Structures are given as structure tokens and as C-alpha cells.
A and B are shown apart, each in its own frame.
Chain A
């Protein structure tokens, strides 16, 4: 075997090896990220975390998700003017004036694939993580509130006053903009967001939209679901059933 032939053979063997191993590596990455993400390991592009909310199960007077969010994320401050208070998740009651049909649903950051807040942020503090979670980097948010002007869902809040008694895992601060993080600190530990876990009707389903075998992906493939303001084509990560 000549020198060149040997080199060609080695390259071909290595190539075949890579082809054989790649699906396994891919599956391992997916499996690991679905459970717990090790410290220092980057979020994976192979996933997209999302939520499916079944509004037919969501009761009008129930705010268990709102309370769980506040407890988990340390949103416990008293603000004199409620319009200046932070609300990462809220319940919206909807009524169709034509036929009187009513329903209730939780509204929060929709974790868009094309988030307007990320586009407009002058410093890049508003960002989308590789796995689709839209976050605010509190270190470089300058508090200009342009993202709040841009968000079609009124999902963001501005911290209007100094804060105390914070959850160490969820740093918040005066003068910065904040919104639902999809409980990223829990998701990275392999847990579900607090609101999903607290829902007494199991109306909120959390999972990987990119994994065709996940429950959320199977449900979205089998029942009619909708995105709020789908006309804007933001490709939201939070979907609703029954609206």
C-alpha cells in the first residue's frame, strides 16, 4: 500500500466511524439535556423548550401558577402602585362579545423564536438561549425599556424600586427589565417550571418542542393548538389549546 493509499484508507475509516457514531452522540446530547445540564455545559441547539397550555382545563378563579411563579422567583415586594409591580405571569380572562364564550389562561413571555425584544435591545442584554429560552442578561441591561415597547405580549416588567429578600438563584435588580425565564434555573436541573408543577388541573405541559417523541410535541401534532398573535409570525414557544 502506497503512502497516499494508506492516508486515504485512514481518512475513509475515520469518516465511516464518524457517520456511525454521530447519531449516538446526538441521542446522548438530547438525553442529557432533557434531564440535567452539567455546570459549564452550554445549552443545546438540538432542543427548544416550550409549553402547551390547555385553556379548557384552566379555571377562571385559579391563580396557582401566578403564586408559584412569585414564590419561586422571589417576586415578593410590595409596590404602592400596582401598575409598577412586576408580573412575570398573569391570568387573563377572555370573553367573546359575540357569543359570550369565556375562558381563562395564563400569559407570560412566549419565548418567541423571532423575539422582537432581542431585536430591539441596544446592548444585547435581551437574548435567546440556544435552547429557545428568552432571557435578560441583568449585567448588561441598561433599563431603557425598549424591549417593553417591542413586546406584543406585555410580558416584561421593569423593576421600579430597590429589592430585598431575593432568591439567590434568580437575581433581580432595580432599574432592569425582567420577564418569565421559563424557570431556567429549574430546567437546567432537569425540573419543570414552577407554574407547570403547581397547576392543579395539569393544564400546563412543558417539554422539548424539537423532540418528536416528547409528550408536548406529540400533543401539538395531534390536537389543534394556537399561538397568540400568530399573525406576527414570531413562532412562539408557548402554545395554547382551546382558544
Chain B
């Protein structure tokens, strides 16, 4: 396949973007090397908050990676033409974000040098262990899926490949949610609702990322999104976001109903540093403001509203994961329920996690990997969604839009 001809200015922009991505990746790798050499003593993670910012970044990237593939699934599995045009970009973003997320998780390991051990020693009862199969499998399936879409001779196989990708991604996000859902020890987790909650969050976050990338590509190519397509994607994003808020509400209301969970909910929603992050970051910035942007009649049909909503959803996703992952660990383990406990190991005390530069840079490095892979991918191959505008106009007239 030949390269798409670009103007000199566009060519320069590509190299600038690629260089920026490469720089962020390099800084992330340097941070990982520093952590590997000096140990996690250079991070803000402790023996109580054992998972920190790298996990917030990694889980965002992995969850959004599976969600972004949903755009392709709607095209291939449910036969929606508008989404079929977007399927290759959706699969590329899936691979890129998964690579970024996995890199962060692997480089945060205490013994990142034992990657081969992780690949060759498998514990079937571990949800992490399942993910060692699920994540590389997702790479393979998404890559085959792109191949079936881009290679004309393979086109007849794109529907089964899309279907396989759809099923695999549902299992994968179930696995990611279950990393927490299967934890019996901590008040924040051990809930079956976490797997479906992660799936619905992945729909919203993945679509938001897709819309941001699509908007950037359209602007670069001086294209505008057809109003009919914009309306569809806006409604879908709004639906996913509303469903996410519903799951969050059910999760917390269920906890509030159980006397044994009351203290934890009071801690998370009222009494701690996580309360403003939850209410302002997760619920307001990541939930209600984007909903208003998507559904207020005066705003909802503007393309800028859709992109602003998508950006806010991504910001809200980071708040959500920070509150969920860090807040869930900061709350002390209840070894002796109802008792006041103290020890040299901070039993009974709320942990204050202060992320330090290396772990933040490592997380950003993962985003850099996803960005760099996407930038190169869209430059080298034809991933730009090109709608059949005449057909869309015709359809809009028929629907009276």
C-alpha cells in the first residue's frame, strides 16, 4: 500500500508529533529504569498503597483500549455502515492503548526483568494470570481484524474476526474488573458489579478517546464530521455515560445499605481527600458536565461540545480510577471490626498517598506509547474514516433530519 501524499507542512507536523511522542516514551522509559535501579523507594507507593499512579494510567489505557474497539464491533457485529468506516481506526487505537497500558504495568513490576517468568509460569486461579493470556490474545485478534478489513481478499472474514474481537474484549474487560472484584480483603472491592461496571466504563472511555482522535484526524485533513454521524456518536456517548453513572450509583448505594460498609462509604464520599475527587472530578467533571454538553439543546449539536464532552470524560476517567484504586487502598483494612487499632505498620490509619515524579512519568510514558503508535499508524496506513457523504445526506433527508 502506498503512502498517502502529504504536503510538506503536513509532513513536518507528522515528524513533530512523532518526535513529541518519542520524547514522552523516552522519559517514561528513563523513569522506569530509575525505579528498576533504585527500587520503588523512589515512588510514593508504600506497603499500604501498593498500587499507585502507574496502575491508574495502565488501567485507564487497558480499559479504554477494549472500549475503543466497540466502535468497530458496532460496525462488524451489528452491521452499522457508519461504524464500519471507523473500524480500522478503532482497532488501531485498541492495539496502541493496550500496548501503552501493558508497558506501564510490566515496567512497574518490582522485577520487570522477569517478564519471561511471567510468560512461562501460569497460575490458572489468578485473574492476573488470565490476563497474561487475554492481553496478548487481544493484540493478535485486533491485528487479524485490521488485516481482514484492509486486505481486500480477506474482507469476507472481517465479520467473524470482528465478532471474535467483540467477545474477546468483553472477556478482557471482565478480567480487568475482576482483578478487583475477586479481592476478598478490602472494603472497596470484592463485588460482582465491578466486572460489568468496568465494561460499561470501557464503552464510554473508549468512545471518548475515539472521538478525540477522530476529531484531530479530521482537522488535520480539513474534513468535518457529517451532522448525522455526529448525532449518532453523540447519542451513543451520552448513553454510555449515563449507564456508567448508573453503575457507580448502584455500587455506592449497595455499599451504603450494608452496615459493615458504611464507614468505608463515609470515608470515600464525605470524610477524606477522595471525597472532592469523587464529587467534583468523577461525578461533575466526568459525568454531569459532559451529559449537559451532550444533551442541552443549545449545545448538543455543536461539534465542539461533543469533543469537549469526550475530553471531560477522559479527565473524569482518571479521577474515577484514582478514587477507586488509591481510595480503596487508603482505607485501612479491618482486621478487628468495631475496634480501635494501632500499630507500627499503620493499622487503623488512613494512608496518604503522594505520587512522585517517576511513577507519574512512567504512566505518561504509556500514554506516549499509545500516541506514538497511533500517529505512525495513521500516517503509514489508511485509517482515516471516510464517510459516504451523499449516502448520509440521503439518509438524513429520509429521516427528516
Interface residues in chain A, defined as those with a beta carbon under 8 Å from any beta carbon in chain B: 66, 79-87, 90-98, 107, 116, 118-125, 140-146, 148-154, 156-162, 174-177, 228-229, 232, 243
The one of A91, A118, A140, A228 in contact with B336, judged by C-beta atoms closer than 8 angstroms, is A228
> Which one, B80-88, B111-119, B136-144, B152-160, is touching chain A?
B111-119
The one of A98, A122, A146 in contact with B132, judged by C-beta atoms closer than 8 angstroms, is A122
Known: A145-B50, A151-B185, A152-B335. 15 other contacts (CB 8 A): A90-B343, A90-B344, A92-B341, A92-B343, A97-B339, A120-B125, A120-B128, A121-B128, A121-B129, A123-B117, A140-B117, A142-B118, A154-B333, A174-B39, A175-B40
Would A91 and B344 count as touching, CB distance under 8 A? yes
Q: How far is B336's CA from A80's CA once the two chains are assembled, in angstroms?
A: 29
The one of A96, A140, A143 in contact with B110, judged by C-beta atoms closer than 8 angstroms, is A143
Kindly list chain A residues whose C-beta atoms are within 8 Å of the C-beta of B123. Answer: 121-124
> Which one, B41-49, B202-210, B236-244, B362-370, is touching chain A?
B41-49
Q: How far is B343's CA from A66's CA once the two chains are assembled, in angstroms?
A: 12
Chain A CB within 8 A of B182 CB: yes
Chain A CB within 8 A of B109 CB: yes
Chain A CB within 8 A of B9 CB: no
Would A140 and B51 count as touching, CB distance under 8 A? no
Q: How far is B47's CA from A116's CA once the two chains are assembled, in angstroms?
A: 17
Chain A CB within 8 A of B183 CB: yes
Chain A CB within 8 A of B127 CB: yes
Kindly list chain B residues whose C-beta atoms are within 8 Å of the C-beta of A94. Answer: 336, 339-341
Would B343 and A116 count as touching, CB distance under 8 A? no
The one of A121, A145, A157, A229 in contact with B126, judged by C-beta atoms closer than 8 angstroms, is A121
Q: How far is B339's CA from A87's CA once the two chains are assembled, in angstroms?
A: 22
Q: How far is B47's CA from A118's CA once the two chains are assembled, in angstroms?
A: 18
> Which one, B217-225, B265-273, B345-353, is touching chain A?
B345-353
Would A153 and B335 count as touching, CB distance under 8 A? yes
Q: Which of B163-188 contact A (CB under 8 A)?
A: 179, 182-186
Given contacts A120-B126, A161-B38, is CB(A90)–CB(B345) below 8 Å?
Answer: yes
Kindly list chain A residues whose C-beta atoms are within 8 Å of the C-beta of B122. Answer: 122-124
Would A142 and B114 count as touching, CB distance under 8 A? yes
Q: Count of chain B residues with Cβ under 8 Å from any Cβ of A? A: 50
The one of B38, B110, B131, B179 in contact with A177, judged by C-beta atoms closer than 8 angstroms, is B110
Kindly list chain B residues whose C-beta atoms are within 8 Å of the C-beta of A119. Answer: 125-126, 182
Kindly list chain A residues whose C-beta atoms are within 8 Å of the C-beta of B182. Answer: 119-120
Chain A CB within 8 A of B342 CB: yes
Chain A CB within 8 A of B329 CB: yes
When each residue 245-284 of chain B gets 1 if its CB lies under 8 Å from chain A and 0 otherwise, what string results? 0000000000000000000000000000000000000000
Would A84 and B126 count as touching, CB distance under 8 A? no
Would A116 and B117 count as touching, CB distance under 8 A? no
Chain A CB within 8 A of B121 CB: yes
A120 to chain B, nearest CB (A): 5
The one of A83, A142, A174 in contact with B46, judged by C-beta atoms closer than 8 angstroms, is A83
Given contacts A93-B343, A142-B111, is CB(A122)–CB(B335) below 8 Å?
Answer: no
- Could you give 30 example pairs across A and B, Cβ below 8 Å? A81-B41, A83-B48, A84-B41, A86-B47, A92-B336, A95-B339, A96-B338, A98-B338, A119-B126, A119-B182, A120-B127, A121-B126, A121-B129, A122-B121, A122-B128, A123-B118, A123-B122, A143-B111, A145-B51, A146-B128, A148-B50, A150-B184, A152-B185, A153-B335, A156-B47, A158-B40, A162-B39, A175-B110, A228-B336, A229-B335
Kindly list chain A residues whose C-beta atoms are within 8 Å of the C-beta of B38. Answer: 161-162
Would B128 and A158 count as touching, CB distance under 8 A? no
Would A92 and B347 count as touching, CB distance under 8 A? yes
Would B183 and A150 count as touching, CB distance under 8 A? yes
Would B50 and A93 count as touching, CB distance under 8 A? no
Would B110 and A159 count as touching, CB distance under 8 A? yes
Would B186 and A149 count as touching, CB distance under 8 A? yes
When each residue 66-91 of chain B gets 1 if its CB lies under 8 Å from chain A and 0 otherwise, what string results? 00000000000000000000000000
Q: How far is B106's CA from A22's CA once the two chains are assembled, in angstroms?
A: 50
Q: Which residue, of A122, A150, A151, has the highest number of chain B Cβ atoms within 10 A? A: A122
Q: How far is B337's CA from A229's CA once the two chains are assembled, in angstroms?
A: 9
A204 to chain B, nearest CB (A): 17
Q: How far is B52's CA from A149's CA once the two chains are assembled, in angstroms?
A: 12
Q: How far is B343's CA from A98's CA once the two chains are assembled, in angstroms?
A: 20
Nearest residue (CB) in A for B38 is A161
Q: Which of B97-115 contact A (CB under 8 A)?
A: 109-112, 114-115
Kindly list chain B residues whose C-beta atoms are within 8 Å of the C-beta of A91. Answer: 343-344
Kindly list chain A residues whose C-beta atoms are within 8 Å of the C-beta of B45. Answer: 84
B156 to chain A, nearest CB (A): 38
Q: How far is B257's CA from A2's CA once the two chains are assembled, in angstroms?
A: 78
Given contacts A124-B121, A160-B41, A228-B335, is CB(A144)–CB(B128) below 8 Å?
Answer: yes
Q: How far is B41's CA from A67's CA once the two chains are assembled, in angstroms?
A: 23
Kindly list chain A residues whose C-beta atoms are within 8 Å of the C-beta of B36. Answer: 175
Kindly list chain A residues whose C-beta atoms are within 8 Å of the C-beta of B114. Answer: 140-143
Q: Which of B357-392 contact A (CB under 8 A)?
A: none
Kindly list chain B residues whose C-beta atoms are within 8 Å of the C-beta of A145. Answer: 50-51, 110
Q: How far is B37's CA from A51's CA once the two chains are assembled, in angstroms?
A: 38
A76 to chain B, nearest CB (A): 16
Kindly list chain B residues whose C-beta atoms are within 8 Å of the C-beta of A150. Answer: 183-185
